[in-house]
Amino acid sequence: MKKKILIIVIVLTFSLSCKNNTSKSISPTAKEYIDEVITLLENNSVNRNTIEWEKFKTKIYSKATNAQEIKDTYPSIFFAIKEINDKHSYFEPINNAKQVDINKPLPQLKDEIIAHDIGYIRIPYFI
């Protein structure tokens, strides 16, 4: 009798722990977006040789567990930029980006030759 009760308790505990697992996993679109960001960071960060990339990826994916759309990945990407700590990388979501005025002319850059083997391009401002 005790054995039957023990088996019933174990089965109920197991089934209840699995039953309420209603969290969504990351969608393929969101995962692809995060993969692209991680690849960019891995290839271009000034700290790329000092980061343990597998641990880094695990942290980033854990922040995007329920991401379904690209906008849902933004918190994990901001976290990735903070974690990479290279003081050069930043992320600007598309909905915050400034609209480019296609009618506005591009700035004219002036160039000149200073010496026989030195070129110089004057850039009036840096974005």
Q: How confident is the model at residue 1 (pLDDT cuts 50, 70, 90)?
A: low
pLDDT at 87: 83
Distance between CA 15 and CA 108 in Å, rounded? 69
Q: Is the pLDDT of residue 93 over 50?
A: yes
Query: Are 112 and 120 a contacting pair, CB within 8 Å?
Result: yes
pLDDT band at 88 (very low <50, low <70, confident <90, very high): confident
pLDDT at 47 over 70: yes
What is the rounded radius of gyration, in angstroms, for the C-alpha atoms of the chain? 25
pLDDT of residue 125: 62
Question: What is the residue type of 77?
Answer: I
Q: Which residues pair with 118 in a beta bridge?
A: 115
Give percent of the chain above pLDDT 90: 41
pLDDT band at 22 (very low <50, low <70, confident <90, very high): very low
SS3 94: helix
Helices assigned H by DSSP within the chain? 2-19, 28-44, 53-63, 74-84
**CA distances for 7 relative to 16, 19, 98, angstroms:** 14, 18, 62
